[in-house]
A and B are shown apart, each in its own frame.
Chain A
Amino acid sequence: MTLFQNHLLSVILFTPTVGALLLLFIGKERDNAIRWIANIFGVLGFLVSLPLWFRYQPQGAAWQFVEHADWIPAIGATYFLGVDGFSMLLVLLTTLMGLIAILSSWTAITERVKEFYIFMLVLQTGMIGAFVSLDFLLFFLFWEVMLVPMYFLIGIWGGGRRLYSAIKFFLYTLVGSVVMLLGILALYFYVYTATGVYTFDITQFQQLTIPSNVQKWIFLAFFLGFAVKVPMFPFHTWLPDAHTDAPTAGSVILAAVLLKMGTYGFIRFSLPILPDASRAFVPMMIGLSLVGIIYGALVALAQTDWKRLVAYSSVSHMAMVMLGMFALTPVGITGSIVQQLNHGISTGALFLIVGIVYERRHTREISEYGGLSKVMPIYAAVFMIMTMSSIGLPALNGFIGEILILQGVYVVNKIWAAVAASGIVLGAAYMLWLYQRTMFGKIENPANEKLKDLNLREIATFAPLIALAFWIGIYPTPILRRLESSVTRVVLRVNSVYGPAMAKAAADCNNPPSAAAVAAAQANAPAGFTIEPPCTTEPAPAAPPRREGERR
């Protein structure tokens, strides 16, 4: 039990890996055994992550559940895990969506079943690892680990031009991550020249004061890596192809979790490590986001392929997430994070919804459908709820995210908010048109007459998402409370206007320094590290002795 207590994150991280290893020993013809094991590990992965929600202390230390061990001492790389409210929620989203994606594949995947589930489970570890790593090199390792299984998921189990899409996905992401690695290395060597210590410790990077011209170059390097993942206009064209040709489970994970890697990267690395550059690039980031919102929505309006339409709606929604983030206000960033969860829930569900009929009919052309609500009433109801969630109907999750983002943006610039709000009108247009073309009307295609409604397993994949959509829409307080301190810390770094928020955050600690003291300390500090405000890091339970000058 102590293992579970002290190494919760490691347990969460490697549960899927254990499942994948176990699958290696199962004969590949025993499909059902493989499915059962994969599903059990999916559920298990979610269950072990649940304590994060309950044991996370909103008012507690900045980094919780911290684990620290040596990894490659020679270059200062460590096995350093920990979460704040933001990454805690993303980990939960990952384990839940992983469970759902695995469950949804029971009948959809009939070929090379064993490899499929192994890749799914490895992918899980990769994604969780990226969210919990507090060591930049470790983060990068997991970041690359995600890439390979996803490539194979699209390339082997996909449809359409699956090889083209898989390679496109791989190349785009790889180019982005290579440039990002350059940025990481630049940061790493810069820290070394400033302090004489080799380290990849993110919590320390977040307290650096780096000259702003250096920041700008590193920001651009990170930008390429993260913007491709988000994806931001104009780096988005891999997304429609990858989504369209990926198997359902792949699309769900891609939309719900993989895209969040980009936004996570911006909030975790770009904003707090490179605050000056982040501020300097606000016009560019906002500009691309606004274009993305309108552009994604308009292009979605033109689609004739169901999955591609949802993919472009993703472009629009993720641009909204970026907009809220680069408002650099507490409400905007909170909204941005909430909207990341919402996008995971509703777009994940929308891909599941396409998957259901794709599995039955093997086509994604919208014109092939129509009138489905007559033969599939439960399916139609689920689709309706998720459509409404996606277009931001109040009392469902989408609204909470949108209104927070708009409010956060509005106080900075009214025009930005107005442009973003017009995207909401278009959102209603393309989603309702999609709904009408697929669900309403009469059945004109005889192939649709005998379609089966959702079975119990399929309902089980949607149930948690629907529950979450209503929960976040009606009572978001518990989530917002868990985000408060993480958001405050980011804003504190990147936006000096929010002095009062800074003081409040400091007062939350046991030993509060005044805001002025922190600022003064920062001003006096040499180019290297700044004075660290207390209680940003929980002492790691089994931390190895640290080298001098590394921390504290």
Chain B
Amino acid sequence: MLVLIPLLPFAGFVINAFVGRRLSKTVSGGLACLVMVAAFLVAAITGWTVISGGHAIEQTLFTWLPSGDLQIPFALRVDPLATVMILVVTGIGALIHVYSIGYMHEETDGEYARYFSYLNLFASFMLVLVLGANFPVMFIGWEGVGLCSYLLIGFWFRKKPAADAGKKAFVVNRIGDFGFILGMLLLFASFHTLDFQGVALAAAARAPETATFGLMTAATLLLFLGATGKSAQIPLYVWLPDAMEGPTPVSALIHAATMVTAGVYMIARNAVLFSHAPTTLAVVAGIGVATALMAGTIGLVQNDIKRVLAYSTVSQLGYMFLAMGMGAYAAGIFHLYTHAFFKALLFLGSGAVIHALAGEQDLRNMGGLKKALPVTYWTFLTGAIAIAGVPPLSGFFSKDEILFRTFTGTAVNGWNGRPLLWLIGIVTSLLTATYMFRLVFMAFHGERRHDAPAAPVRPEEEEPGAPVPPLPGPVYSDLPAVDRTHGATHASHAHEGAHLHDAPPSMAIPLIVLAIGSIVAGFIGVPHAIWGSNRIETFLDPSFEVSREAAATEPGAPLVDVPPAAEPHEDTGRELTLMAVSTGIAFAGIGIAMYFWLRNRAASDRMARRFAALHRLLLNKYYVDEIYDAAVVQPIRLLSTSGLWKGVDVGIIDGAVNGVGLSVGAGSRGLRRAQTGSVRTYAASLFLGVVLILGWYLWR
């Protein structure tokens, strides 16, 4: 039963990959959606069983890797945490599949089938990642989603930026995998198991490494390196903003339902282990909040609609890591779950805008779309309100929970930086509201700066999001004109109609469903302070502690670390205050955006000019890509080309070998000269030899 969940999308992949080219679009697209919906139904039934049964379900298929003491079964397990994840992946995933039917309709049959086969495969690997009962099985999914993101980001592989972005995503993720593999090996060497429950049990049997830097700290730090790769945190976040080179529904899938949530999920999955390494938790929280702030500031000035959303994802993931670092695992997963709704909504909404505007992605060329694209506008607005944290939409509850737990949490022991972390979180919250509404106002309000027929065609798949003049991506500048028709067809679309098309039904329905989700999804986590019951937390908590039955089999395992199941109620007053603060902040952010980008556009330009240096720094994303290029990529290139290859390989080693060859050759040529054939010379040398030998003996 359990295996069906990843197997259904996998079957869709196999069919579309092998015979897709011969199927019509309706069949291949329909099939891909159907398997996802079926997987969602199975996941829902499974979830229901878990909820009603109250314990995890496990299925072992076969022994995958038996060698000596390394015995890895191919096992799947679903517990409350995995339940939430499979529902998000299959549910949001299915909506994105449906949306893609409309969005990709201009591709040829073969490309269309290829697209949907990748999409199915992506979902399948993500489900393996989530359901895997041990590290290596999780790693199958972990690497699998990396592969699929490579394929999908580079789907329009004929344009170089897309192919570059796909490769960047894979290689950066591999750096993270380096940590993941080593962390996994360390855990196995110490605990002799890689099963998640086994690891949790073994970790629980040890004292938390409060002041020491022990193996659990080392292992969790290595695993966290893996998480920063997948979940786009400092220092490995650089691939995610580029990943928007892929088709927009792919961005939605990567940013909302799959891939980037993997790192957060992995930490939550190993909550007991991480709880025993407070140092790591502090690092996780610090990195999380720093990423949130940094990405938020970058998002404030970007002009590419998808790039703003991409940085917003990085920023929101930072919140989730903050929650993990605070030991508030349930709060982090809660935010992951609400974020899936509104981020999928925002990406799909931006896709609808791009679709309507013939591939235009630059916010400066939009504006006034509110009337022309009502469905898109209202759903997008819902998403923006939700991410800004306005009550009672979903984003408010989850973000507030994280901030509240940051303020009051106990996880960072000995270090009283919690108010500081909270403050940065609140500032980021302000930024979030500001940049989201800047986007809304620039795209949908104000004057229409996009006259469809005459617009310079900047199709999504041609040029990277219109880089600002001072920084033309040096790599891309030699790019010749488009060879594909996507953008052009859109342009002709817009031209003929002379007015803009709102999203067609296959795109509108997912938008509406997601908008409703963004409104109501938070209600399962209404805190006790405002007379809710925080169901999701009570539901999830069993996943973050060693299960009682498992602990019972291990005598003497002290359950020292169980995080408090529910916050004590006496904090109600403080919680309400914090809630009011964050609500106020959300409105303040919207107000700032309204002033600068709706009421007084000139003011924002003035600001940009006054702080030109800062503006340029943000616009260029703190030059991190350039710094990485100069500090890592170029030195490696130089080392490998002129250092090792031309220098050591050809110069020293082959030089030595050829040198031996040459000197043997020269030596033999020299000796050949001695073979003159002249008897007199031979006699002379004979005589010389006799003299020398005699002299030697006499002189001795």
Give residues in A with beta carbon < 8 Å to B.
Answer: 168, 234, 237, 240, 295, 298-299, 301-303, 329-331, 334-335, 371, 373-374, 377, 381, 388, 393-395, 399-400, 403-404, 406-407, 410-411, 414, 417-418, 421-422, 424-425, 428-429, 432-433, 436, 439-442, 474-477, 480-481, 501
17 additional contacts (CB under 8 A) given A371-B158, A433-B167? A295-B644, A299-B644, A301-B636, A302-B640, A334-B68, A381-B17, A394-B136, A403-B136, A404-B67, A410-B185, A421-B178, A424-B181, A425-B174, A425-B175, A428-B171, A441-B163, A481-B66
Give residues in B with beta carbon < 8 Å to A.
Answer: 17, 62-70, 110, 136, 139-140, 142-144, 147, 150, 154, 157-160, 163-164, 166-167, 170-171, 174-175, 177-178, 181-182, 185-186, 188-189, 480, 483, 636-637, 639-641, 644-645, 648-649, 653-654, 657
Q: Within the complex, which residue of A377, A424, A476 is in contact with B177, where a contact is CB–CB below 8 Å?
A: A424
Given A403-B181, A442-B483: A298 and B640 interface contact (C-beta under 8 Å):
yes
Pair B640/A388 contact, Cβ less than 8 Å: no
Using CB atoms, name the residue of chain B closest to A238. Answer: B657
- Chain A hits for B640, CB < 8 A: 298-299, 301-302
Pair B653/A428 contact, Cβ less than 8 Å: no
Docked CA distance A439–B186 (Å) = 38
- Chain A hits for B140, CB < 8 A: 394-395
Nearest-neighbour CB distance to chain B for A211, whole angstroms, equals 31
- Chain A hits for B66, CB < 8 A: 477, 480-481
Pair A298/B653 contact, Cβ less than 8 Å: no
- Chain B hits for A440, CB < 8 A: 154, 157-158, 160, 163
Pair A406/B181 contact, Cβ less than 8 Å: yes
- Chain B hits for A403, CB < 8 A: 65, 136, 181
Docked CA distance A432–B157 (Å) = 13
Q: List 10 A-B contacts (CB under 8 A).
A: A168-B657, A298-B644, A334-B68, A393-B144, A403-B181, A404-B65, A421-B181, A425-B178, A433-B167, A441-B158
- Chain A hits for B166, CB < 8 A: 436
Pair A394/B139 contact, Cβ less than 8 Å: yes
Using CB atoms, name the residue of chain A closest to B157. Answer: A440
Nearest-neighbour CB distance to chain A for B109, whole angstroms, equals 13
Pair B182/A421 contact, Cβ less than 8 Å: yes
Pair B174/A428 contact, Cβ less than 8 Å: yes
Using CB atoms, name the residue of chain A closest to B162. Answer: A440
Docked CA distance A38–B147 (Å) = 40
Q: Within the complex, which residue of B147, B171, B653 is in contact with A234, where a contact is CB–CB below 8 Å?
A: B653
- Chain B hits for A234, CB < 8 A: 653
Pair A299/B63 contact, Cβ less than 8 Å: no
Pair A334/B174 contact, Cβ less than 8 Å: no
- Chain A hits for B164, CB < 8 A: 436
Nearest-neighbour CB distance to chain A for B573, whole angstroms, equals 50
Nearest-neighbour CB distance to chain A for B230, whole angstroms, equals 14
Nearest-neighbour CB distance to chain B for A226, whole angstroms, equals 18
- Chain A hits for B17, CB < 8 A: 381
- Chain B hits for A168, CB < 8 A: 657
Pair B181/A330 contact, Cβ less than 8 Å: no
Pair B171/A429 contact, Cβ less than 8 Å: yes
- Chain B hits for A334, CB < 8 A: 67-68
Nearest-neighbour CB distance to chain A for B555, whole angstroms, equals 26
Pair A480/B67 contact, Cβ less than 8 Å: yes
Pair B70/A404 contact, Cβ less than 8 Å: yes
Docked CA distance A432–B168 (Å) = 9
Docked CA distance A18–B188 (Å) = 51
Docked CA distance A477–B67 (Å) = 8
Q: Which of B67, B69, B142, B640 has the most CB of A within 10 A?
A: B67
Pair B158/A374 contact, Cβ less than 8 Å: yes
Pair B186/A414 contact, Cβ less than 8 Å: yes
Given A371-B158, A414-B186: A422 and B178 interface contact (C-beta under 8 Å):
yes
Pair A441/B160 contact, Cβ less than 8 Å: yes
Given A425-B178, A442-B158, A475-B62: A432 and B150 interface contact (C-beta under 8 Å):
yes
Using CB atoms, name the residue of chain A closest to B173. Answer: A428
Pair A299/B67 contact, Cβ less than 8 Å: no
Q: Within the complex, which residue of A298, A331, A373, A436 is in contact with B68, where a contact is CB–CB below 8 Å?
A: A331
Docked CA distance A330–B639 (Å) = 36
Q: Within the complex, which residue of B65, B157, B175, B644 is in contact with A441, where a contact is CB–CB below 8 Å?
A: B157
Nearest-neighbour CB distance to chain B for A31, whole angstroms, equals 36
Docked CA distance A475–B654 (Å) = 42
- Chain B hits for A433, CB < 8 A: 167
Given A298-B644, A395-B140, A404-B67: A410 and B189 interface contact (C-beta under 8 Å):
yes
Pair A237/B181 contact, Cβ less than 8 Å: no
Pair B182/A417 contact, Cβ less than 8 Å: yes
Nearest-neighbour CB distance to chain B for A506, whole angstroms, equals 16
Docked CA distance A69–B168 (Å) = 60
Given A428-B171, A436-B167: A298 and B63 interface contact (C-beta under 8 Å):
no
Docked CA distance A388–B121 (Å) = 15
Docked CA distance A30–B334 (Å) = 74
Nearest-neighbour CB distance to chain A for B149, whole angstroms, equals 12
Docked CA distance A496–B69 (Å) = 17
Using CB atoms, name the residue of chain A closest to B657. Answer: A237
Using CB atoms, name the residue of chain A closest to B137. Answer: A394
Docked CA distance A424–B143 (Å) = 13
Pair B67/A331 contact, Cβ less than 8 Å: yes
Docked CA distance A424–B173 (Å) = 12
Nearest-neighbour CB distance to chain B for A14, whole angstroms, equals 35
Docked CA distance A298–B644 (Å) = 8
Pair B157/A373 contact, Cβ less than 8 Å: yes
Using CB atoms, name the residue of chain B closest to A172. Answer: B657
- Chain B hits for A480, CB < 8 A: 65-67
